Amino acid sequence: MKLRPSARPSRERGAALILVVWAVGLMAVFAASAARDASLDNEDARFLRGTAIAKALSEGGLRHGTDLWRSGDRAVLLGTLLCQAETGLLRIDVAPVDSRIDVNLAQEPLLEALFLELGADHATARTAAAQIADYRDGDSTPRPHGAERSVYERAGKPGGPKNAVISHVGELAYLPGLPEWLFRAALPHLTTASSSAVPDDDYASAPIKAAIESLGISQTAKGDAIRNSPHVEARALRRRAVSSGSQANLSGKIRVRAAARATLGGYYALDAEISGGGAGKAGRFLRVDSTSTRPGDFSPIDEAPIPACDFQGPDTKQ
């Protein structure tokens, strides 16, 4: 009688083959995961280095814009300067501070119009403008849609409104009715250092120009009708600001914005306000803020020939 061969060795070989295939597959998964993590780490490192280079480049641009202003060459400087550095692209914008909206002097309709231009709905824009007015006035009586101490307390902000001159636009982040996204969007368009209740729209940003136009303020009449407004609150705030010293030396203030795009990738922008200066004078920095770059900073000029930067910037070698 012929014996039937055992099937056990065959089953064992099959099981061993399955284990080998499973182990190889598992190692392949681990290898792919490690490669992906390494790639992500490299991308993160490249982005961080690019951002650091862009920051250093924007710092150099800020100093260059300030130096040009101090040299007295204002006819050349006022406007936009674009240049290509070894490590990236730099944009410098210089304009009088009066081209921004002063949060101490502007009336509510202008503030509301700006917030609308920046994308806020009517309720949010109206509330934010009224709360700025309540924050800066000297009384504790809330205006329609405004906010005094009780509103701040309900929002978990027990300090209440300042009820005094706003020293820095960063104070507006404390308003309960001003969303963070809107605060950040409005920051480049606001100041506390202007001498005018309505901005000089010759150098104003597009949202400010649109806000002024939406209020029906004509280019020819707005100087007499608005800038020298008899509005009681604006005039009182002006007197309080000057007497407190927060707006001494109202003439000669400029704003300088330097935005950089690193060749490695990464963006950075700095925004400064400077008082005095010009004609060789040193001047004084009123504020310096880091801000996000805007979509229009570089996209319209990508295909245009850009001159090389002609100043010695910081050491940003790649």
**What is the rounded CA–CA span in Å between residue 204 and residue 213?**
12
Q: What is the pLDDT of residue 242?
A: 41
Domains of the chain are 51-98+251-301 (3.30.1300), 102-244 (1.10.40.60)
C-alpha torsion sign, points 244, 250, 256, 257 = positive
Distance CA 23, CA 38 (A): 22
- pLDDT (0 to 100) of residue 208: 92
Sign of CA dihedral 117, 123, 126, 130: negative
Please provide residue 264's backbone torsions phi and psi, each rounded to the nearest 5 degrees.
-70, -10
Q: Give, rounded to a whole angstrom, the gap between the first and last alpha carbons of the chain.
A: 84
206: nearest Cα among 273, 300, 82: 300
Q: What is the DSSP string of 69-103?
A: HHTT-HHHHSEEEEEEETTEEEEEEEEEGGGSEET
Structure token digits, residue 179: 């969303």
* Residue-level pLDDT at 41: 61
> Residue 295's pLDDT is what?
56
210 Cβ neighbours under 8 A, 6+ residues apart: 113, 117
The pTM of this model reads 0.63
Strand order in the sheet with 284-291: 79-85, 88-96, 254-262, 267-275, 284-291
Q: Which one-letter amino acid corresponds to residue 139?
A: D
Give residue 223's identity as a one-letter amino acid code. G
SS3 285: strand
Angle between helices 108-117 and 122-136 (to 10 degrees): 140
Q: What is the DSSP string of 106-145?
A: --HHHHHHHHHHTT--HHHHHHHHHHHHHHHSSS-PPPTT
Ranges of residues in the chain with a pLDDT under 70 are 1-17, 30-42, 72-79, 217-252, 276-287, 291-304, 311-318
Q: Residue 318: name the closest of 258, 264, 260 by CA.
A: 264
The secondary structure element, H or E, covering residue 268 is: strand 267-275
